[in-house]
Amino acid sequence: MSLTLGSGPLAARPAAANYEIAGPAHRIAFEPHPRRIRAELAGHTVLDTTRGHLLHETAILPVLYAPLEDFDPALLERTDHRTTCPFKGEASYWSVRAAGRVAENALWSYEAPLPDAHWLAGFGALYVNRMDRWLEEDEEVGPTLRDPYHRVDARRSSRPVEVTLGGELVLRDAASVLVFETGAEPRAYVDRGGLDLVASERRTACPYKGEATWWSLRVGGRLLEDAAWSYETPLEGMGAIAGLVSLEHDELEVSIG
């Protein structure tokens, strides 16, 4: 389980257990993350650290913080932007400038954090999607860093999958792949051979599965936009879903037997 999502111990609705975690309803925890992490913008290394920490916060994905000394000061420009968090304090911001590119207010730091988050002093964090490239050790990762407590498994299954539209059968598949992901309902990936799909320009990315290609679904003369997605070249460990599609739309009902 994740620490902060789903039924994790720091989540809003933790799983049943024979213990209680005393403290506020909104919890934060600061955990060392000893992997070497680098962030790049326009070919310049903005961050290079082996001293990072993950900030786990109720109902929020973990965020990597690193000592401010591990950011390249030559690329940073302090701004007047400020935000306030009721749990951590007031955040100061820096823009990152490299090779003519500017990522505005991309770095923040709680320079004088609240007492309950005093360990954030001297650390800063980057908006992941404002950098061009992230590396964990020498391997490129992204679009976000992985939560070490989050798990995704793809399993071939003979459980029947049915997709209906207004009570009419769209698809029945008895040889699907089911994906089980921390904090999410099981999701079926099926062969797209029996579906009338139209390629969409939409793309999304998952740090555990890779980049998703989206498809619109044509059913009986109707076009349901962005009703399916596939991972054409999924990340390691998720090869079983390569080329298969998962369907979800307000007008579709997907059931797993």
Q: Which residue has the tokens 């720091």?
A: 10
Structure tokens at 103: 């990522």
Cα torsion for 207, 210, 211, 212, to the nearest 10°? -100
**Average pLDDT of the segment spanning 146-161:** 91
CATH of domain 28-141: 2.170.150.40
Q: How far apart, in Å, do the first and last CA atoms of the chain sit?
A: 24
| pLDDT of the residue at 143 | 63
**Average pLDDT of the segment spanning 200-224:** 93
Q: What is the pTM of this model?
A: 0.78
| Domain spans, the chain | 28-141, 152-256
How do residues 226-239 score in pLDDT, each as one tens digit? 999 999 999 889 99
If you average pLDDT over every residue of the chain, what do you get? 93
**Average pLDDT of the segment spanning 95-102:** 97
**Average pLDDT of the segment spanning 96-106:** 97
The whole-angstrom separation of Cα 57 and Cα 40 is 26
- Per CATH, 28-141 and 152-256 having the same topology is answered yes
| pLDDT of the residue at 2 | 79
Q: Taking 70 as the threshold, does the pLDDT of residue 1 lie above it?
A: no
Share of the chain above pLDDT 70, in %: 99
Superfamily of domain 152-256 in the CATH hierarchy: Domain of unknown function (DUF427) (2.170.150.40)
